[in-house]
Structure 1
Amino acid sequence: MSIDDQIENRISKAKEGTIFFADDFSDIGSQSAIHTTLHRLEKRKVLSRVSHGIYAKPKVSELLNQEILPTAEEVALAIAKRDKAKLLPSGSYAQYALGISTQTPLKLVYYTDGKARTIKVGNRTIQFKRTTPKNLALKGEVGRLVVQALRDIGKDKLTSKEEKKILELLKNEDIKDLKHDIALAPQWIAEIMQKHYNGSNKFLQTKNQSKKGNI
């Protein structure tokens, strides 16, 4: 079976929208042969090019009757999975992910323990920045975003509306994860997160006392 046939056969078994990297086919042939094949398959619309060395199996929206390419976020997660690297959204993207900002950022910035790089996906940019293990040690799905969003906003620029929104979001956080992340956050951010933690503890204490009283 030719290199073209082997690669096309592997693609045919994948779901629509699956992201492929040129390296995924390194067991089939040389780097130059693989890139040549992928270019041919792109011309035949077997694959769609997402970025340099990154492709996707075409997925068509029945409603819009047009091809849907993977989002920049999906590409970032695929890269992290391939590299077995951790990701932490930062900056304006962390604000957007939390709903503090409604403006879709054209530049996604992630902290990572993987390779630092910048990738262009359509009209958006993904930037991976190396960071310390401490930053990546944050556990909470909400807390980790809160820390990065507040860092981006800044202590003196945080509005009462934004703080209220953050405290509301922290209600969805696991208390154990929140306690863990408070210990790692910068002092002024930890103080904000502590407000919700203290409130939750008071609620739990009242609930426990109520249960004891009913025994």
Structure 2
Amino acid sequence: MRGLTVKEKIARSIARHKRIVSFRSDFKSMGSASQISRALRELINEGTIVRISHGIYAKARPSSLSGRPVAQAGLSELTEEVLEKMGIPVRLGQAQEAYASGRTPDVPVYTAFYTGERRITRKITIGRSTVRFENKYNTKRKKTYKDWGAG
């Protein structure tokens, strides 16, 4: 019996796990960096996985409309799983939170998550939809008297 190739090891690992999201670092013990890159590229071409961000992949299924591979879950679910895996507490962005609590009837235009003090520059994208990350440094807040330079 022959040994498994790096691609077969990665495909088996992805299929075994209940989670949808896999990081590239999950596979670093399975081969060299170039072998892993090649295997991931082949799995993307076969439609087994889709790339949602740099170094982050999601299990794929054929689209009911086009037949092309799409992620098995929606953008919000994938982002929640990514944040949990990164150890960041999951919290909705300001617009989603206001809509969910009934403070506004406006449906949020984009998906956003609040990351506290963590600055995340990573983009998580499915098709044309991209997640935005809000943190304590870039969320809008009302200016106070001190912010205007007075006393």
Give TM-score scaled by structure 1 length: 0.50
The alpha carbon displacement at 1:107 in A equals 4.4
Which secondary structure does the structure 2 equivalent of 1:87 belong to? coil
Name the residue aligned to 1:85.
Answer: 88
Q: Are residue 53 (structure 1) and residue 55 (structure 2) matched?
A: yes
Cα distance between partner residues in 2 of 1:29 and 1:115: 31
How many residue pairs get matched?
134
Structure number, greater radius of gyration: 1
- Name the amino acid aligned to 1:105: V
- Counterparts of 1:118-197 in structure 2 under 5 Å? 118-122=122-126, 123-131=128-136
TM-score of the aligned structures, taking structure 2 as reference length: 0.67
Structure-2 separation of matches of 1:97 and 1:32: 45
Kindly provide the amino acid, as one letter, of the partner of residue 132 in structure 2. Answer: Q
Structure-2 residue corresponding to 1:210? none
TM-aligned CA distance change 1:104 to 1:128, over 3 Å: closer
CA-based RMSD of the aligned residues comes to: 3.2
Q: Aligned in 2, Cα 1:120/1:79: closer, same or farther, shift over 3 Å? A: closer
Higher relative contact order (CA closer than 8 Å, sequence separation 6+): 2
Shift of the 61–103 alpha-carbon distance from structure 1 to 2, 3 Å rule, reads same
User: 1:43: how far off?
Assistant: 0.4
For 2:125, the aligned partner's letter is V
Structure 2 SS opposite 1:59: strand
Mark the runs of 5 or more structure 2 residues left unpaired by the alignment. Answer: 143-151
CA distance in structure 2 between the aligned counterparts of 1:110 and 1:53, rounded to whole angstroms? 21
Q: Tell me if the contact between 2:90 and 2:113 (Cα under 8 Å) persists in the aligned partners.
A: no
Could you say what secondary structure the match of 1:88 adopts? coil
Question: Given residue 111 of structure 1, which amino acid in structure 2 is its aligned partner?
Answer: T
Structure whose residues are more often helix by fraction: 1
**Per-residue Cα deviation, 1:51-95 (whole angstroms, up to 9, x for no partner):** 332222223577x79565232212221222111112332322222
The 3 A distance-change label for structure 1 pair 61 and 33 is closer
Equivalent position to 1:111, from 112, 115, 122 = 115
Pair 1:97-2:100 in alignment: yes
Judge conservation of contact 2:63–2:70 (CA < 8 Å) in 1: yes
Out of 10, 15, 18, which is 1:12 matched to? 15
CA drift of 1:115 comes to: 4.6
Alignment partner, residue 147 of structure 2: none
Identity of aligned residues (%): 22
Q: Report the Cα distance in structure 1 between the residues aligned to 2:20 and 2:111, rounded to whole angstroms.
A: 23
Show CA shifts across 1:150-186 (max 9, x none): x87x7xxxxxxxxxxxxxxxxxxxxxxxxxxxxxxxx
